[in-house]
Structure 1
Amino acid sequence: MEPRQPGNKKIADFNQLNDRIIAESSSEPMLVIKTNLDPKDPTENNPYYHNEDVKNPKAFKEYFEE
């Protein structure tokens, strides 16, 4: 008895496909929800906080503390 090979033999090998673009995953989250488990400091573990990019840290903290 031959081992079973699932899948359709007529479909091209995935690595050989060149007629489409496969987007890379985003480095930033799409949805952020604040919970009671979040840290008290909004800059801690915040994917939107980068020291060099934040021009007004006080406004940034006020925005995320609301």
Structure 2
Amino acid sequence: MEPLKPGSKKMPDFEELDDRMIAKHTNEPMLVIKTNLDPKDSTEDNPYYKNKEETDTEEFRDYFEE
């Protein structure tokens, strides 16, 4: 009997995915704290905000700001 594969038939097998990188988990817990020394604008000095023409600034700010 063949094992059940739930989900869409069009979805490739997880082992065959090569268009993304899956990071390994850390061995220790991580804590991220926002301080009053952080810039008010989330696009300033942010390594994830590189190409201003191709990045949707509003969506980027929605993600990084509260």
Tell me which interval the TM-score lies in, with the shorter structure as reference length: 0.3 to 0.5
Larger radius of gyration: 1
TM-score after normalising by structure 2: 0.42
